[in-house]
Amino acid sequence: MKNKVLKINQKDNVLVALQDIKDGEEVLFEGQKYKVLERIPAKHKFFMQDLPQGSDVLMYGVLVGKTQLEVKKGERMSVENTKHAAEPYAYREAEYHWKAPDAARFKNRTFDGYHRSNGEVGTANYWLFIPTVFCENRNLDVIKEALHNELGYAVGDKYKEYTHHLLEAYQKGENLENISLTPVIDPKERVFKNVDGIKFLNHSGGCGGTRQDSAILSKLLASYADHPNVAGVTILSLGCQHLQVENLRKDLQERNPEFDKPLFVFEQQGSQSEEALIKQAIHDTFIGLTEINKIERKPAGLDKLVLGVKCGGSDGFSGISANPAVGHTADILVSLGGKVLLAEFPELCGAEQEMIDRAVNKEIAEKFIRLMTEYDALAHQVGSGFYMNPSPGNIKDGLITDAIKSAGAARKGGLSPVTDVLDYTEKAIKPGLNLVCTPGNDVEATTGKAASGATLILFTTGLGTPTGNPVCPTIKVATNSALAMRMADIIDIDTGPVIEGEKTIAEMGEDILDYCIEAASGRIIPKAVLLNQDDFIPWKKGVSL
């Protein structure tokens, strides 16, 4: 490691500890000595000068907080001495100039994807089960167990085996502590080689809430049915719920008038029995699987990729290693004509002016301002606000204010111009960087990115987050090597070498894009996919940060 500390931007008045610094230790940076007044854990920050109460705290070159009392040079930034603050924002007709990164190495690269009739290309080939109402979740669970176990899509049976051995030991009066967990050596081989999975969108909506909730859910479900990674759909309906099948069909038709994927609908209240419903659903879906299994991967240009970028379980290194590296990946893809989706509006708090200045026109900038203002106002109506976004885990690992978290989070979108702003479930149609209105909540955000058409998601994490998406392969990117080693079962890429000074942001960004091409082609299977981490939480457009 070259340095113990890092100054992210020349305007900053705090330094970031890249490793633990002892109480009283002197640190040399840019020819000046800094004696820390207390232990500074790695990822945390300390002040570069004495500051009176009410002073601006700057990171990433922007306002991220205000001192709540007088602070001393070398003192650690904490929730006691620093509170969230961000500059006001407005449209100001800024001229934004972007220099695209060197993408020569990727200019003629392709990935092997599933070509759809509307010109889109999927990175996977899934069959999707959709319930129009939560009443059908149990039927979906029964069907899932039957199809996954018999067709080779179930996660290994090692936990069943472990429980079986515990039961045997208990019945024999043996010591339960001696039972070990052994992996399944020969998981069942998949029957359909070109079907990457059978996915199930269990949810808690469709009835009982407001009609608006059901209307939003309908658009969300329609977006998943129309997703490039989905080849066929089975819908289960009760019959009397708010979200009627005809409403879902209407939303699907509005989203894609040329929708031509196999779609089967089963309504329980019109069925002879629950058994008859499940039997027919399995039968027809099986026939559908035999058809979509005939689709094969074929080469496609990288301009056909739609990359969602997300951070969760963030730490003080997120905005220094993983997010900027993913941002470089995003910039390369944009320069090649691809689409990048940056969401989590509560985690753009403090970075709003930058996004506005990067908008390609006034209309897009004003849409972003409207969505951000309405969202934040809704949060304040219930006594909250974007400033309450950082979690205890974020704070413990150095993200003291929401503006600090946001300034680092925004880095994963790269530096290219903002070509469009999308409300929740709106489809990305313009190449370039698209801002998507979602909560910061990990699963609600990834759910929303897939709804806007993401065919791969790069998910950065500093603390470790075991989540994925049913239809969009999710690639986990660790901010530090310690996490990558400790949670190797869920992490795909380690950006720790950036912190260690072994790789540049640009080098790591290119490595990440190489991985994305392999994952998009099905030659590498991300850990979240292998573990069936199929998390799906619809946003009801209420207050969720």
Per-residue pLDDT tens over the stretch 440-499: 999 999 999 999 999 999 999 999 999 999 999 999 999 999 999 999 999 999 999 999
Question: What is the pLDDT confidence band of residue 368, given thresholds at 50, 70 and 90?
Answer: very high
Mean pLDDT of 312-324: 93
In contact, 43 and 321? CB cutoff 8 Å: no
pLDDT at 398: 83
- Please check the confidence at residue 381 and state whether its pLDDT lies above 90: no
Cβ within 8 Å of residue 507, ≥6 positions away: none
Compute the distance between CA of residue 469 and CA of residue 442 in angstroms, rounded to an integer. 10
Question: Tens of pLDDT along 488-512?
Answer: 999 999 999 999 999 999 999 999 9
- Please check the confidence at residue 1 and state whether its pLDDT lies above 60: no
In contact, 224 and 452? CB cutoff 8 Å: no
Question: Tens of pLDDT along 221-234?
Answer: 999 999 999 999 99
Mean pLDDT of 316-344: 96
- Please check the confidence at residue 386 and state whether its pLDDT lies above 80: no
Provide the residue type at 483 as one letter.
Answer: L
CA 136 to chain centre: 27
**E strands present in 184-305:** 197-200, 230-237, 263-267, 298-301
pLDDT at 389: 67
**Position with higher pLDDT, 87 vs 330:** 330
pLDDT at 387: 65
- Please check the confidence at residue 545 and state whether its pLDDT lies above 60: no
Q: Determine which of 314-318, 337-341, 510-514 has the lowest per-residue pLDDT on average.
A: 314-318
Q: Listing from the earlier edge strand, what are the strands of the sheet with 121-122? A: 121-122, 110-115, 298-301
Cβ within 8 Å of residue 285, ≥6 positions away: 127, 129, 143, 147, 198, 232, 234, 264
Q: Determine which of 359-373, 383-397, 495-509 has the lowest per-residue pLDDT on average.
A: 383-397
> Which contiguous run of DSSP H or E holds residue 28?
strand 26-29
Compute the distance between CA of residue 247 and CA of residue 185 in angstroms, rounded to an integer. 46
Q: Determine which of 33-37, 210-214, 486-490, 533-537 has the lowest per-residue pLDDT on average.
A: 210-214
Cβ within 8 Å of residue 524, ≥6 positions away: 515, 518
Mean pLDDT of 139-146: 97
Rounded to two decimals, the pTM is: 0.93
Count helices and strands in the chain by DSSP H and E runs: 15, 22
Mean pLDDT of 137-142: 97
pLDDT at 542: 62
Compute the distance between CA of residue 254 and CA of residue 222 in angstroms, rounded to an integer. 9
**Position with higher pLDDT, 490 vs 160:** 490
